[in-house]
Amino acid sequence: MSFIQIQCTRCKSVFRDRAGRLQDGYSRQCPSCEVVLFFAEDSQHPFVKRAMRNARKARKEQREAEAIRRVAPEPRAARSFAGRGRSVGRED
Protein backbone atom coordinates (compact mmCIF):
# COMPACT_ATOMS: atom_id res chain seq x y z
CA MET A 1 0.00 0.00 0.00
CA SER A 2 1.31 3.42 -0.86
CA PHE A 3 1.41 6.35 1.51
CA ILE A 4 0.68 10.00 0.70
CA GLN A 5 2.27 12.98 2.42
CA ILE A 6 -0.22 15.47 3.82
CA GLN A 7 0.62 18.98 4.97
CA CYS A 8 -1.47 20.34 7.83
CA THR A 9 -3.50 23.43 7.01
CA ARG A 10 -2.85 24.98 10.42
CA CYS A 11 0.64 24.09 11.67
CA LYS A 12 2.13 23.19 8.24
CA SER A 13 3.69 19.97 9.56
CA VAL A 14 3.84 17.00 7.19
CA PHE A 15 2.52 13.54 8.02
CA ARG A 16 1.57 10.44 6.04
CA ASP A 17 -1.61 8.46 5.47
CA ARG A 18 -2.57 5.60 3.18
CA ALA A 19 -3.72 6.48 -0.32
CA GLY A 20 -6.70 4.15 0.00
CA ARG A 21 -8.06 6.12 2.93
CA LEU A 22 -7.73 9.57 1.34
CA GLN A 23 -11.07 9.75 -0.42
CA ASP A 24 -13.96 12.20 -0.50
CA GLY A 25 -15.47 12.51 2.99
CA TYR A 26 -12.45 11.23 4.92
CA SER A 27 -11.26 13.18 7.97
CA ARG A 28 -8.00 12.89 9.87
CA GLN A 29 -6.53 14.60 12.89
CA CYS A 30 -3.10 16.21 12.56
CA PRO A 31 -0.67 14.41 14.88
CA SER A 32 1.07 17.69 15.80
CA CYS A 33 -1.64 20.27 16.45
CA GLU A 34 -4.67 17.92 16.56
CA VAL A 35 -6.78 20.01 14.18
CA VAL A 36 -9.24 17.85 12.20
CA LEU A 37 -8.61 17.92 8.45
CA PHE A 38 -11.53 17.14 6.15
CA PHE A 39 -10.71 15.74 2.73
CA ALA A 40 -13.12 16.61 -0.06
CA GLU A 41 -12.72 16.64 -3.83
CA ASP A 42 -14.05 20.21 -4.04
CA SER A 43 -11.86 21.62 -1.27
CA GLN A 44 -10.42 25.09 -1.84
CA HIS A 45 -7.30 24.55 0.28
CA PRO A 46 -4.21 23.77 -1.84
CA PHE A 47 -2.73 21.30 0.70
CA VAL A 48 -5.91 19.22 0.67
CA LYS A 49 -6.17 19.44 -3.13
CA ARG A 50 -2.58 18.23 -3.53
CA ALA A 51 -3.07 15.32 -1.13
CA MET A 52 -6.30 14.25 -2.87
CA ARG A 53 -4.67 14.48 -6.31
CA ASN A 54 -1.63 12.46 -5.18
CA ALA A 55 -3.85 9.83 -3.55
CA ARG A 56 -5.97 9.50 -6.69
CA LYS A 57 -2.81 9.07 -8.78
CA ALA A 58 -1.35 6.48 -6.38
CA ARG A 59 -4.59 4.46 -6.35
CA LYS A 60 -4.69 4.51 -10.15
CA GLU A 61 -1.08 3.30 -10.42
CA GLN A 62 -1.78 0.57 -7.90
CA ARG A 63 -4.85 -0.64 -9.84
CA GLU A 64 -2.85 -0.69 -13.09
CA ALA A 65 -0.02 -2.66 -11.49
CA GLU A 66 -2.55 -5.14 -10.07
CA ALA A 67 -4.16 -5.57 -13.50
CA ILE A 68 -0.77 -6.26 -15.08
CA ARG A 69 0.01 -8.85 -12.38
CA ARG A 70 -3.29 -10.62 -13.05
CA VAL A 71 -2.74 -10.76 -16.82
CA ALA A 72 0.89 -11.87 -16.73
CA PRO A 73 1.23 -15.48 -15.62
CA GLU A 74 3.61 -16.06 -12.76
CA PRO A 75 6.49 -18.40 -13.58
CA ARG A 76 6.20 -21.70 -11.74
CA ALA A 77 9.41 -22.52 -9.90
CA ALA A 78 10.31 -26.13 -9.35
CA ARG A 79 10.03 -26.90 -5.68
CA SER A 80 12.72 -28.82 -3.95
CA PHE A 81 11.67 -30.94 -1.01
CA ALA A 82 15.17 -32.05 -0.09
CA GLY A 83 15.52 -32.58 3.62
CA ARG A 84 11.80 -32.51 4.27
CA GLY A 85 11.24 -36.27 3.94
CA ARG A 86 10.15 -38.59 6.70
CA SER A 87 12.69 -39.68 9.28
CA VAL A 88 13.25 -43.42 9.17
CA GLY A 89 14.37 -43.82 12.77
CA ARG A 90 11.80 -41.46 14.28
CA GLU A 91 9.08 -42.84 16.51
CA ASP A 92 6.37 -40.73 18.13
Query: What pLDDT does 84 receive?
Result: 60
Query: What pLDDT does 87 receive?
Result: 59
pLDDT at 12 over 80: yes
* pLDDT tens readout for residues 33-82: 999 999 998 999 999 999 999 999 999 999 999 988 888 776 666 666 66
pTM higher than 0.75: no
Q: Which of 1, 33, 42, 40 is nearest to 15 (CA)?
A: 33
Q: Which of 59, 45, 39, 51 is nearest to 15 (CA)?
A: 51
Beta-strand relationship, 36-39 and 14-18: unpaired
Query: What pLDDT does 72 receive?
Result: 78
